[in-house]
Amino acid sequence: MSIATPANPSTTVPTSEELVARIRELQPLIAGHSAEGEQNRRVVEESIAALTDAGVFKVATPKRYGGYESSMRTMLDVSSAVAEADGGTAWVVTLCNVCAWMTGVFPERAQDDVWGDNPDAKVSGVLSPTAESVKVDGGYRVTGRWFYNSGSWHADWAVLGIPVVDEKGEPVDQALALIPRSDLDFQETWFVAGMKSSGSNCLIAEDVFVPGHRLVSVPAAIDGNYPTEHTDETLYRSAFVPLLSLVLAGPQLGMGRKALEIVTQKAATKAISYTFYTAQADSVAFQLQIAEAAQRIDTAHLHAYRAADIIDRAAAAGTYPDVLERSRVRADTAWVLDNVTRAIDILLFAHGAGSFAEVNPLQRIWRDSAVAARHAVTLPAVNYEVYGKALLGRDDQITPLI
């Protein structure tokens, strides 16, 4: 068994600004590999290695293992900065970091299993309990298939949803199970129009033993009851579903900013075909489109960081947001997606058909953003309905994930 010793007790935790500066230095490298990543349906190893060296995958790892144990706000800063260079790489960073956060709410013994010998271990994950389990002495034997494991090519562990049953096989709970990647089979199933390089493939368990200390009850976690012994660690007091939802908005912010930058920079030299405008920037109609897109991207940031502050402040105070606040975070996340999606659409209309040239990064941003915006935990229609019911105080919610 691994011994829990800090991997690097002298590690200096960088500020969010320092992390973003490190990422900006890597953006040419990451962007230069984006087409290759799409072609191979996995982020290029050179990009993963550079981001690992820069500490980008440490933002949600406990300090006890040399991590930065930062905040929800920092997680948005980091993922959006990576997304300015490539959406698929940002998605892998986002999902690995949020799965590291989930690992941080497990008992210390489970965290030792993951990071005790390898403080750079990466974790992928899927909440859906698409598995069967059998109760045995000391834990469970698990068989199942979990699709959409973003970052699956680079993960050392996976946190996966399972049903919890009693001795008779009757379901009594739902849990997250930490399983070493070496115990899982793998099937490449991610053939999609966007986020191609995210490696969101299927992991497969065939009668894998999971000891009891590597299980966390999902209903208890939704209520803020985590089994970690380190209750003084602020980050791991964050609200469960709000954090899992809002973190997915980070890549959208970066992709929106980059699309606006590309279109505005080209406007001084790009003509509007079949008009007298030799520069798009001279057109009042174009100016209106740019203004609306920029406002929508700004609005997305305001809502994303308001929601992040709700999560961070509650964690710092040792309180847990009530249902209304947690529902509003889901609605804020949806508002980010709605506004960035609309902003990118406006920008592509303004920029013209050249947006869709294979050499133009706008087409990749458009595809990556559109696919990511359809993640089940962030679907705007679902999230608004959740928030609307909470505002009305209704008891007929459509999901327990609040």
Find residue 171's DSSP bridge partners.
Answer: 165
Q: For the chain, what is the largest distance between any 2 Cα atoms, rounded to a whole number of angstroms?
A: 78
Residue 304, CA distances (Å) to 83, 185, 204, 259, 360 in order = 15, 36, 34, 18, 28
pLDDT band at 11 (very low <50, low <70, confident <90, very high): confident
d(CA 78, CA 216) in angstroms, rounded, equals: 27
Q: pLDDT > 90: what percent of the chain?
A: 97
51-80 pLDDT tens trace = 999 999 999 999 999 999 999 999 999 999
Q: Is the pLDDT of residue 5 over 90?
A: no
The model carries a pTM of 0.96
d(CA 391, CA 27) in angstroms, rounded, equals: 42
Quick check: 97 and 238 in contact, CB under 8 A?
Answer: no
pLDDT band at 7 (very low <50, low <70, confident <90, very high): very low
pLDDT band at 10 (very low <50, low <70, confident <90, very high): low
Comparing C-alpha atoms, which of 365, 362, 369 is closest to residue 266? 362
Quick check: 135 and 184 in contact, CB under 8 A?
Answer: no
185-237 pLDDT tens trace = 999 999 999 999 999 999 999 999 999 999 999 999 999 999 999 999 999 99
> Chain-centre distance of CA 90, in angstroms?
8
d(CA 157, CA 179) in angstroms, rounded, equals: 6
Helix (H) or strand (E) run with residue 177 in it: strand 171-180
303-345 pLDDT tens trace = 999 999 999 999 999 999 999 999 999 999 999 999 999 999 9
Q: pLDDT averaged over the chain? A: 96
Quick check: 196 and 44 in contact, CB under 8 A?
Answer: no
Q: What's the pLDDT score for residue 159?
A: 98
34-54 pLDDT tens trace = 999 999 999 999 999 999 999
Q: Is the pLDDT of residue 3 over 50?
A: no
Q: Is the pLDDT of residue 402 over 90?
A: yes
All domains in the chain, ordered by first residue: 16-116 (1.10.540.10), 123-217 (2.40.110.10), 238-392 (1.20.140.10)
120-146 pLDDT tens trace = 999 999 999 999 999 999 999 999 999
d(CA 2, CA 172) in angstroms, rounded, equals: 31
